[in-house]
Structure 1
Amino acid sequence: MPEYRLQRLRGGWSIAAYEDGKRVSRRRLECSDAAGAAAEFSRIVAEAERPVDPDVRTIWNAYVADKAGRRIAENMGWTGRAVLPFFGDLKPDAISEKTCRAYVATRRSAKRGSAAQQARLEAAGKPPALGVADGTIRTELNQLRAALLWAEKRRMIGRAPAIEMPSAPVARERHLTRREFERLLDASETPHLRLYLLLAISTAGRNAALLELTWDRVDFERGLVFLGPRHVLRPQKGRATVPMTNALRAALSDALAYRRGDRVITWAGEPVASVRTALGKAVKRAGLPKVTPHMLRHSAAVWMAEDGVRMEEIAAYLGHADAIITQRVYARFSPAHLRKAAGSLEVGGPRPAG
């Protein structure tokens, strides 16, 4: 493979290829300024050194590198442990419906849980927990599809294959009632969990947004919480700017007096990576069924719908791009939902006005 060098050429810039110390080709670059030429040079070299007919592992790793610093790159570091042993050595054109179905069958029969959890089951003389959920399998295959479509767009491959996956699982509809939330809040023994719960139910924020929230995005003067970066024209998905409730303002004011660092949710002065352990313990003390962080966001949306808040306003609170998905999921909880339509079907007496 030749060595590529960025060189000056007649007041501009060029890319030159060398083999065994001798220049074998040279090409003028379109950009005349140094920064633009350097970026153009890097892009051309990357294209030239891109593998021909890459396998899935190469594409997967290139996609993760391209998304470095974003949550998807971190997630694919985990899902790759399942996807790459099966698909990694295959070329994209070798992936078929049969291949995808074989992967689904393999994952459905795979052991669940960590190695330590499996070891504890074996030590107790219990059979291993089997069967990865279809929702997890869909996530893995969706990420494979995203990587292949990315490779097609960048002409690493001719065409991304179709990825067959199991049907989407039925959405969980359970939410916490206000009384259940109060029980959960009362059962929270650690300050960081109590603050997290109040943030979650008061902002309807996603788990990641709550754990990543920093004090510079808590505006006490205007009574606002910025779940995403401030001063951006296009907020991140699901990260709205919402007003503080009275209960949340009081909790944040108390926490601010003892802050140790930039993050709002901390334990012993350190950022909290997950509240699942503390939340699980509080759930048991409260005598409730399983509660997940996402269930808190769902519960907040249901409460708003039950109070007759317009779907457009709920969508804005949740950070949805439009109210279509909000309408589909939460309209049935609204007391006004289909009420006028039902009035049109009244029989045996005068029809209600309106």
Structure 2
Amino acid sequence: MSDISIGRLRGGYCVYWTKANGKRTRYQLQARTRTEAEAEAIDVYRRENRDAVLGDTISELWEAYRTDLGDKPTAKTMGYTGKAVLAHFGPYRPDQIDKALCRSYASKRIAEGKSVGTVWTELGHLQSTMNFARDVNIIDRAPRIWRPVKPETDKRILNAGEARALIDGAHDPHIRLALILLLGTAARVSAILDLKWDRVDFERGSINLRIDDGTSRKGRAIVPMSRGVRAALSVAHSAALSDYVIEYAGHPIKSMRTGFKAAVERAGLGRVTIHELRHTAAVTMLSAGVPLVKVGQMLGHTNTSVTYRTYARYLPEQMQDAADILDFSSKKRSI
């Protein structure tokens, strides 16, 4: 969209901009204050340039959304997913997107060897872009972006022995501490690497995984310390060289992939991803009978339905009483 400017006219305010043909146009506003004028100016511009607003392409809206995200991780991710999405959708306008166009994109990506999960994520970013354009009044309605059904992934869940072997396989103290925290708090790796000592409360025995700068769109929790977590944190705190809990030579670390991979190899666990430690923690709690709502709170979920949708398939034992009632074959027939 063209830039608009606010000016003074006949004792009030006006909005003006330069059209594509180089001609400047100006409109008198009803507003009596600068703040009111800025809001009214946007409405006037969009009213007078309806075709231009609708002409905003997916490429333009995508970049506008990334700019709005700022330093959030999603902005960086969309820099990668956008290469494929914009090659297909880029020249289109929002009102031109339909199910057939989305399905053709999915078919093309899968034919290129991409997983259904990857396609699901890419089209999800397109939906987020459309929602953004609607929320900031660039478009009146966000088109519904068709996506293939998100596949169920087979998560590797470590048993207690495997979890201990993994921790013991970490030779570097900062990697060992990170693994203890990941398994002991059910937190995401980003939350652990972001954690500072001012959010570790030894007196109350709690860890605040939340951050207030809005850089993470994922939910984070305030969790209690277990005895093992408290002991590991106490040792690390006495030797701390920086504000960060996970540090190396006095500096925070951006990634622990190398250290994690080495620990997995030493433990002989085969294929394990670092995010599966969060799943391991969640399933371990549920298997021990911890109520779903408490598990959701530990995971930082704002809605229990998210917890249920993710982990319900790991809870067949919770339906045992229902199955027992349906055991007609072993029941005596009443006369």
State TM-score, norm by structure 1.
Answer: 0.78
Q: Which residue of 2 aligns with 1:123?
A: none
Letter in 2 for 1:243: P
SS in 2 for 1:25: strand
Q: What's the CA shift for 1:139?
A: 0.4
Shift of 1:298: 0.7
Partner of 2:119: 137
Say whether residues 1:316 and 2:297 are aligned partners. yes
Deviation at 1:160, TM superposition (A): 3.5
Q: 2:63 aligns with which of 61, 64, 87?
A: 61
The residue aligned with 1:70 is: 72
1:207 maps to which residue? 189
Structure 1 349/16 Cα, relative in aligned 2: closer, same or farther at 3 Å? closer
CA contact (8 A) 1:308 1:336 kept: no
State the 1:224 CA deviation.
0.5
Separation of aligned partners in 1, 2:316 and 2:102: 44
CA shift for structure 1 position 349: 7.2
Q: Which residue of structure 1 aligns with residue 91 of structure 2?
A: 89
Following superposition, the deviation at residue 228 of structure 1 comes to 0.6
- Deviation, structure 1 residue 295: 0.7
Equivalent-residue separation in structure 2 for 1:72 and 1:135 (angstroms): 17
Structure (1/2) with the larger helix percentage:
2
Taking structure 2 as the reference length, what is the TM-score of the superposition? 0.81
Instruction: Tell me if the contact between 2:296 and 2:303 (Cα under 8 Å) persists in the aligned partners.
Output: yes
Aligned to 1:124: none
Aligned equivalent of 1:29:
31
| Alpha-carbon distance in 1 for matches of 2:15, 2:65 | 28
Q: What amino acid maps onto 2:265 in structure 1?
A: K
* Cα deviation, residue 176, structure 1: 0.7
1:101/1:22 Cα in 2 relative to 1: closer, same or farther (>3 Å)? closer
Q: Could you tell which deviates more after superposition, 174-183 or 18-27? A: 18-27
Give yes or no for contact 2:15–2:41 (8 Å, CA) kept in 1. no
Partner of 1:193: 175
C-alpha distance in structure 2 between counterparts of 1:306 and 1:216, whole Å? 33
Q: Which residue of 2 aligns with 1:4?
A: 5
Cα distance in 2 for residues equivalent to 1:320 and 1:3: 41
Q: Over residues 250-296 of structure 1, what are the superposed CA-to-partner deviations in whole Å (9 max), with x where a residue is unaligned?
A: 21122223333332222333322222222122212211122122211
2:303 partner amino acid: D
Partner amino acid, structure 1, of 2:72: R
RMSD after superposition: 3.4
* Corresponding residue of 1:119: none
Q: Which runs of 5+ in 2 are unaligned?
A: none
Identity value in percent:
37
2:28 counterpart SS class: strand
Change (3 A) 1:243 1:45: farther
Cα distance in 2 for partners of 1:178, 1:305 equals: 14
Q: Secondary structure at the match of 1:59?
A: helix
Q: 1:288 aligns with which of 256, 260, 269?
A: 269
Tell me the SS of whatever aligns to 1:146.
helix
Q: Does 1:299 align with 2:301?
A: no
Q: Is the 8 A contact 1:202 1:300 kept in 2?
A: yes
**Cα gap change, 1:236/1:104 in structure 2, threshold over 3 Å: closer, same or farther?**
closer
Residue in structure 2 matched with residue 224 of structure 1 by the alignment: 206
Quickly say closer, same or farther: Cα 1:49–1:191, change in 2 above 3 A: farther
Segment drifting more, 72-81 vs 36-45: 36-45
Where 2:275 maps in the other structure, the secondary structure is helix
